[in-house]
Amino acid sequence: MWSYIVRRLVQLVPTFFGATLLAFIIIQLAPGDFVTRLELDPTQTRESIASLRQEFALDQPWTVQYAKWVSGVLQGKLGLSLSYKADVWKVIWPRILNSMVLVVLSTLLIYLIAIPVGVYSAIRQYSVGDRILTVLAFIGVAIPNFFFALIMLFIAVWLNDTTGLKILPIGGMTSEFVGGVPYLEAPWWQRTLNVLWHALPVVLVLATTGTAGLIRVMRGQMLEVLNQDYIRTARAKGVAERVAIYKHALRNAVIPIVAGIGFLLPALIAGAGLIEVVMAWPGITPMLLDAISATDLYLVMGFITVTTILLMLGNLLSDLLLAWVDPRIRYN
Amino acid sequence: MKKLFVLGMLALAGLALAQPKVFKGTEVGKQGGTLRIATISDPRTFNPFVARETSSTDVIAGPSCGNIFPILTNYNPYTLQPEGCLATSWEVRNNGLTVIFKLRQGAKWSDGQAIDADDVVFSASVHADQKVNSNNRSSFVLDGQPIKWSKVDQYTVRADFPKPYAPALIQGWPIAPEHIFGPAYRQGPEKLQALYNLDTPPAQIVSGGAFLIDSYAKGERIVLKRNPSYWGSDEKGNSVAYLDRYTFNIVSNTEAQLARFLGGDTDLYAAPDGDKVAQVLERIRSNRLSGQIFPNADVTTGTNFITFNWNNKDSFKANLFRQVKFRRAMAYLMDKKSMIDVAQGGLGRPQWSPISIPVRQFFTDDVAKYEFSPQKAAQLLAELGFRTKNKDGFLVNAQGQVLEFNLATNQGNTLRERIAQIFADEAKKIGVKVNYRPIDFNELVRQLTTPAADGTREFDAILIGLTGSIDPAFGRNTWQLNGSLHMWNLGMNGQNPTRVEPFEVLIDKLMTQGATTLDPAKRREIYNQFQKVVAENLPVIYTVAPAYNPARLNRIGGLFDKDQVSAIVGQYPYIETVFTKD
């Protein structure tokens, strides 16, 4: 196994260079650079535009820029954000942490709901319950996340309106005042509760789509396993139905889902997507969109680097997990 | 008795030393409370020499005398004439080549050090340093020559201009504490740029403005708090700012910004379109929001116009675009009423003149107007030889050349996309083939500003906008022949274009005169003539100006009423005199 891990880790190196080079080229293919939008500012002279390009090394060929950037990465430095004039890691890390709150909570919720519901749907196939759950799951998969988030905002405003209370937050991650004092001065448990309260509608939105998809997968897996010969054999032997389902069937049906856990690693960092923008959650997505529209080259590259590394490690982890839960798989 | 005497002496000493600036608000307010606004994105820095985006400058500079870093002078919000901030008075000498500014004595940084000439002269030299690349560098260069700042004594500074400069009295660049930035600067520009970044603890950021930075939660909010040692007071001598806290909530989505205001979570708001205006109105009318909105109170300074490329690779098109008759025909095709009704929900105003409508001290409405008239357009095109239509219904001239051009605007700007569509539709109706296509913003800018080696550029026509400035002299880059934004007829490498029309020379001359004439009445006359020449010759064809629709909650006081709000000054004369009523 160890030689397998080492081999995989060595393979990461060319993959990493290939992926970042490709990203760098794609960013360079897009017209314009960080300084372009300043050119339309009537108060900026040609000379100051040129001087800015020089400062950011944007006047050099992209190959030189890439080489400089890579040598920085090899020394553990992700580079300097053009607009923040600060280390990229310092800029993105607090945002990644904020996103993780959503990702962790919604992932937990998804697994907690989807697995039991999927199993129920499978063992009561075509029952009324299964049909209702199936319809709900299809609706959940069909509604785009960002649209559901807008509806959630609308619900929050309406609910607060009709009750005259602050039942749901209207976007954001923390309140300015908690229990009458500024947020930062409140005790830690009040701050935690405040964040959880703000996370509630966002996590609900996120979990809906995720749950709906996973229910379908779990149901399909379970049905497939339940139709296998060994389940029939187990039943024929007189094993209790409960044992047949939970000991024999579920364990096998859940294998692909366990193997998928490795993919959660990059997902943790990648944030919750446009939901964060709609719900004003201070995650990584709004910042990344800003960086892309401002062509803040190194901020975008830094983020891509981190996700690429985690994606590759997550892949490796998934493969190892799969080998661990499924004895049929060998290291080769 | 003795105690009283000492107190009295202290009070007198205070009066003798300090020269507080009196901020004349719309009413005398009371101390305390929080003002909450929404902003579209995070600040990038708290360093005044690095700040570039409005998301940063709104926090550290702000529209008044400076939230954190003070400025010398600004426009008086009522008269739009120069007014002192850190400067108490000034004297123009040497036929306008020299201005002496007297500084406010007793003004202090929040760490107790005096704000004096050293800070001003140091900040000027850093802003002017090409290696620092400050966004304010243009305030220190006049037509390629430097404006020199020097210290006369502790509370007097002197600015020497290479030529007379009309906006010389407006010195709105942020002044930073020399005792903090100086040592770093002497170690190199990078050290200076690294100061006051977003990870600097707020308590360490020294302020000379109305507020201190209280806290910053990334992606969420920046909270400013009252600076107790600020050098301002109200008319009654009470110290300002009135507000205890001034919160910028970062809400990057315009729908979510609306939701915040509708929910009563932010105090001030400017509705960007008719739909959002309607939602605010509905909520106020149904008594679910205690506030006010003034739809169409003003128009923004931003402009939207079409410009044609006189340096077109295709010489037929280049020559056509040079014809004033052609451009007037295109102007006649601008259905500005539809642009307002359909594209802007009935809000906004048609624009004819190159100076933004809210710039009241220079704007004139007395210019040539080519009101929507497809017949007149068709007639002018016939005079240019486009008399017959081909089998597809498009106009052709005697040589069989079709009247056709591409029109681009930046993708994602729905207002511009709609305006371009309306124009293209009207043009097609009389047989002008307009191929409308939205493209990426950066690509648009590249086509507009980057000539090929032979001086030609790629595009035919572009619909784009510029932010209007409060003084036309700041827009010289667009109008002077060698300007980098002389976008209809662009020269190479900072030179004049190779072939210029007489009216362009006249505009160039008027812009130079306008920037160097000090007498306000004469300046006004010059800019009146400038507006007439542009409106008549149409180097750019203006469309419609978007509406400014300010809204506020009733809990906020010290705001302008409906007649006074303006897109330039905003909803209040000074942030210092805004207060909360609850």
pLDDT number for residue B11? 45
How far is residue B161 from each of residues B87, B122, B125, B145, measured CA to CA in Å? 18, 17, 14, 9
Backbone angles phi, psi at B320, to 5 degrees: -60, -45
| Best residue of A43, A48, A293 to probe chain B, by most B CBs closer than 10 Å | A43
Closest alpha carbon within chain A to B38: A280
Residue matched to tokens 């490329």? B309
pLDDT at residue A311 above 70? Answer: yes
B556, burial (CB in 10 Å: exposed 0-12, middle 13-18, buried 19+): buried
Q: Closest CB to A32: pick one of B50, B131, B445.
A: B445
Cβ distance of B219 and A40 shorter than 8 Å: no
Count contacts between A and B (CB, < 8 Å): 159
Note the helical H segments in B404-519. 414-429, 441-449, 476-479, 502-516
| B144 contacts in chain A (CB < 8 Å) | 47
Q: What ranges make up the beta strands (E) of B471-576?
A: 540-542, 544-545, 547-553, 556-557
Length of chain B: 582
CB B199 within 8 A of CB A90: yes
* d(CA A6, nearest CA chain B) in Å: 38
Cβ distance of A41 and B467 shorter than 8 Å: yes
| Best residue of B35, B42, B216 to probe chain A, by most A CBs closer than 10 Å | B42
pLDDT tier at A322, thresholds 50, 70, 90: confident
CB A174 within 8 A of CB A198: yes
Cβ distance of A42 and B288 shorter than 8 Å: no
How far is residue B316 from each of residues B312, B313, B378, B380, B405, measured CA to CA in Å? 9, 9, 19, 17, 11
pLDDT number for residue A145? 84
Q: Rounded CA gap, B562 and B560, in Å?
A: 7
Q: What is the mean pLDDT of residues A305-328?
A: 82
- Residue B468: CB partners within 8 Å, gap ≥ 6? B301, B302, B303, B355, B356, B358, B359, B475
Q: What is the mean pLDDT of residues A229-233?
A: 89
Cβ distance of A176 and B253 shorter than 8 Å: no
Q: What is the mean pLDDT of residues A275-283?
A: 87
Give exposure, B526-536, as e/b (b: 16+ Cβ within 10 Å). Answer: bbbbbbbbbbe
Q: Rounded CA gap, B207 and B400, in Å?
A: 69
Most confidently modeled of A134-148, A156-170, B322-336, B467-481? B322-336
| A91 contacts in chain B (CB < 8 Å) | 198
Q: Which residues pair with B37 in a beta bridge?
A: B248
DSSP B196-256: T-TTS-GGG----SSEEEEEEETTTEEEEEE-TT-SEE-TTS-BS---SEEEEEE---HHH
How far is residue B275 from each of residues A151, A241, B252, B253, measured CA to CA in Å? 17, 60, 19, 15
| A55 contacts in chain B (CB < 8 Å) | 131, 133
DSSP B318-367: HHHHH-HHHHHHHHHT--HHHIIIIISTT-SEE--SSS-TT-TTT----S
pLDDT tens by residue, chain B, 582 residues: 455 454 444 444 444 446 899 999 999 999 999 999 999 889 999 999 999 888 999 999 988 899 999 999 999 999 999 999 999 999 999 999 999 999 999 999 999 999 999 999 999 999 999 899 899 988 998 888 999 999 999 999 999 999 999 999 999 999 999 999 999 999 999 999 999 999 999 999 999 999 999 999 988 899 999 999 999 999 999 999 999 999 999 988 888 899 889 989 999 999 998 899 999 999 999 998 999 999 999 999 988 999 999 999 999 999 999 999 999 999 999 999 999 999 888 999 999 999 999 998 899 999 999 999 999 999 999 999 999 999 999 999 999 999 999 999 998 888 999 999 999 999 999 999 999 999 988 899 999 998 999 999 999 999 999 888 889 998 888 999 999 899 999 998 889 999 999 999 999 999 999 999 989 899 999 999 999 999 999 999 999 999 999 999 999 999 999 999 999 999 999 999 999 998
Cβ distance of A83 and B44 shorter than 8 Å: yes
pLDDT number for residue A332? 61
CB B211 within 8 A of CB B227: yes
Q: What angle do CA B440, B443, B444 make, to 5 degrees?
A: 85
Q: Rounded CA gap, B340 and B346, in Å?
A: 5
Q: Closest CB to B221: pick one of A41, A46, A176.
A: A176
* Mean model confidence pLDDT for chain A: 87
Q: Which helix (H) or strand (E) holds B91?
A: strand B87-93
To the nearest 10 degrees (0 to 180), the angle between helices A284-293 and A297-325 is 140
pLDDT number for residue B412? 85
* d(CA B466, nearest CA chain A) in Å: 7
B11, burial (CB in 10 Å: exposed 0-12, middle 13-18, buried 19+): exposed
Checking ipTM against 0.90, whether it exceeds it is no
Length of chain A: 332
A 209-248 residues inside an 8 A Cβ radius of B: none
pLDDT, tens only, A87-123:
899 889 989 889 989 988 988 998 899 889 999 999 8
Q: Closest CB to B474: pick one of A42, A98, A279.
A: A42
A 65-94 residues inside an 8 A Cβ radius of B: 83-86, 90-91, 94
CB A251 within 8 A of CB A284: no
Residue matched to tokens 């830094």? A302
CA B202 to chain centre: 28
Q: Rounded CA gap, B419 and B340, in Å?
A: 9
